[in-house]
Amino acid sequence: MDWRRVEENIFKCLMLTSVCCVVGSLLFILGTVFVKGFHALTLDMLIKTPQGGYYLGKGGGILNAITGSIVLGIGATLLALLLSLPLVVYLNLYLRKNSRRAFAVRFLLDVLWGIPSIVYGAFGFTVMVFFKLQASLLAAIITVALLILPIMARSMDEVLKMIPFELKEASFAMGATKFETAVHVILRQAIGGLVTAILIAFGRGIGDAASVLFTASFTDSLPYSLFKPVATLPLAIFFQLGTPFPEVQERGYAAALVLAILILGVSIAARFISGKFTRHVIR
């Protein structure tokens, strides 16, 4: 009996099992949401805001939550991007490889990554109370941006770490400054990975319920002001699933389906767009 072949096959089986578990559970989740929510998903749900008694089973839709989530997701992602891009460029181009400062920043980001989102929510709430602000779109954008910042920054950091040293060297050798090298060479080379990092962060931000529970509050109207409460899809799901009425619960699943499709759509669109930028990338 050839032991090496047996070993090879055993491990191949184990690996296939894990792949099946991961893909299977993902499909199972999506399937459940689809089956339970699809027939509650009507056009009205997508284009109307909740009318009186919506949460008791009367007419209306979740347009407030859809637009709220999109605005909040984009706002928070942009804010996080604005902070994390300079941060990772600094870490990777301006600090030396084993500098203590870089180590400390990376360690802190990893710790922040691990903090549960409800803690971010509570923190945002405390700060709001301190400044005597009410729950608002702005407060939610800031809180969610803080929540996704470590995710975005650390993912981008890993992307920039992979850039070959010779590429930076080639640019510096022409008399380029670090900033020119970062903007014209490094970011261009890394654009595909950076887009993925942004998407991961966006998906996490738009889907998070706990951090917006106190900071965004909820409203039946569309988002029209940075300083007014805003509705979000995760909370719309949460409230609807929490009612005792089966038809409202179904709408909760429909809202979950909308959220899933939204994230999927953004992912596909971003892949498509970044494909146009990556044609010069060196592989």
Partner 1 sequence: MTTPCATHIQTEHLTVQYGKQRVLHDITLQIPDRQITAIIGPSGCGKTTLLKSFNRLIELQEGVKVSGSVFVDGENIYDPKVEVTRLRKKMGLLLQRPQVLPMSIFDNVAYGPRIHGCRDRRQLADIVEKYLRMASLWDEVRDRLHEAAARLSIGQQQRLCLARALAIEPEIILCDEPTSALDPASTQRIEQIFMELKKEYTIVIVTHILRQARRLADHVLFLYLGELVEYGQAQYIFENPQQQRTRDYIMGVIS
Binding site for partner 1 (CB under 8 A): 96-98, 164-177, 180, 184-185, 188-189, 279-283
d(C-alpha 275, C-alpha 192), whole Å: 8
Phi, psi of 282 (to 5 degrees): -85, 125
CB of 269 to partner 1, least distance (A): 23
Judged by beta carbon, residue 93 or residue 112, the one nearer partner 1 is: 93
Expressed in angstroms, the distance from the first to the final Cα of the chain is 42
Judged by beta carbon, residue 43 or residue 282, the one nearer partner 1 is: 282
Judged by beta carbon, residue 93 or residue 118, the one nearer partner 1 is: 93
Q: Which residues contact 1 (CB under 8 A, 6 or more apart)?
A: none
Judged by beta carbon, residue 127 or residue 187, the one nearer partner 1 is: 187
Judged by beta carbon, residue 180 or residue 220, the one nearer partner 1 is: 180
CB of 276 to partner 1, least distance (A): 13
241: three-class secondary structure by DSSP? helix
User: Half-sphere exposure (CA, 13 Å, Cβ side) for 209?
Assistant: 9
Judged by beta carbon, residue 51 or residue 177, the one nearer partner 1 is: 177
- Token readout for 186 is 């490094």
CB of 88 to partner 1, least distance (A): 17
d(C-alpha 119, C-alpha 124), whole Å: 8
Judged by beta carbon, residue 243 or residue 274, the one nearer partner 1 is: 274
CB of 153 to partner 1, least distance (A): 22
CB of 199 to partner 1, least distance (A): 21
CB of 234 to partner 1, least distance (A): 38
Residues 14-32: b if buried by 16+ CB within 10 A, e if exposed: eeeeeeeeeeeeeeeeeee
> Based on the number of CB atoms within 10 Å of its own CB, is 208 exposed (0-12), middle (13-18) or buried (19 or more)?
buried
Contact 146, 124 (CB under 8 A): yes
d(C-alpha 44, C-alpha 61), whole Å: 6
CB of 166 to partner 1, least distance (A): 5
